[in-house]
Structure 1
Amino acid sequence: MANGATAVDSDTAAVGREQARQRVIEAAADLLAREGRDAVTTRAVAVAAGMQAPAIYRLFGDKDGLLEAVAEHGFAAFLATKNVEARPQDPIEDLRAGWDLAVEFGLANPAPYTLFERHQQTLGVPVGTTYVGEDAGFAALHDVALLSAMYGMFAGSAHAFALIRKEDIDPAALAPLLADWLVAMAPAVHQTADQLRSGDYTKGVVSNLAMQVAGTPTFLSTAEQQGVSPELLSPYFELMRRRLTEGNGEEDLTGVIDLLVR
């Protein structure tokens, strides 16, 4: 295993890199809002962020990478203004209020909207239009459900990268393997949905809950050996164990969902 001091230095560098990245994004977003897209040059952003222009290329690859990050930043700000109500008393009025909010944001922040169109491939999934029923409140709920799943994926990926952080393993070598694995696992959501709809959580099970709970100590011990906190995985493992103690060892992992619903 690599020297502990080296790992600490690497972690510190990673934190500094993320702070620098956020500083650049905020500086670019401010320039965009005040002076428009043409003002967002690498030189101007570097001056506003208090760093050298080459640093921007190291952080974002190129100007398009920077603008894409700014577009994501603006979209996140927009999502933060959304008030999600699963079952509004008046769905039509709720839809109108949501539209008014979007229009208000667009009028107050016209420049970021030019980036939304330019980078629609990146932002297309969360802002694309899909009919999800007559209940207008469910549209926002679908958005949050999708983004929640996204953050769950990010959490698992963060743990995966943390496991190799102290070793002589190139993260770029793990990334394609990880991406392929996530793509391969993604269709499992269809089986989960089918089990929830039918109420039969043993339907189509390959590795049942009892088998999977038996394997969790391996993940925890590996994390300990690598000096990695298990805090991203432990809550889910605890829910799995709770479901098992209720006598549901033959089920799939779907029963965990029932433990989450209060």
Structure 2
Amino acid sequence: MVGAQEAASRDDVRAGIVAAAARVLRENGADAVTTRAVAQAAGVQAPTIYRLFGDKDGLIDAVAEHVMAAYVSGKSASAHEATGDPVADLRSGWRTHIGFGLANPELYALMTTRGRGRPSPATLAGIEVLRARVRRLAAAGLLRVDEQRALMMIHAAGNGTILALLGTPDDERDPGLADAMFDAVLSGIVADAPAAPDTATNAVTVTFATVLPDLPGLSDAERALMAEWLRRSLTHPPHPGG
């Protein structure tokens, strides 16, 4: 019982420090997140932070995980409330992502520019939510590029849009930039956008590639060969005139 109480107390102290650090980060910026400032805001001694987080970087990682995990949890919940229109759901997710970045500029910049060995679990979870949305586009026959290409195009464009807006003074920001960027990316990946004459052909090819693993009556070698043909078709543009 005593051990459980100590663990609960430790968790409470840790949560309080993370919340205090998040508040300092939000109100004063990344440079203000020092162990001394956070300890004062959390009402603890600085050695407590080192004992629980190792160092300042460990504390910042914990703050990033805390805020990003809450955000991803919200995104995951909204993903289960799909409208039935995969394009509309993708647009909704895009706007949520842009909104989060603009609402948390210091944290977002820290998460995207800081040297990390690999993306945080919260970031990876967010990518998986996006992957599910892209898969819905593919299953509906709407993609004219492969799923991974579509995923990375959306991911890169979203990050770039947020960083561009954060790098622009508030009174000089283009309020329509985020939607314009989404439409530009959409025109490059979605089949019904009037971007290229080969849209319908590519859409059929991508959709067929999605169901290829489930086709009956084919050997593994035949599936592999067909997958290679489909990949080659998608990566080689048609000759002018047919």
TM-score normalised according to structure 1 size: 0.46
TM-score normalised according to structure 2 size: 0.50
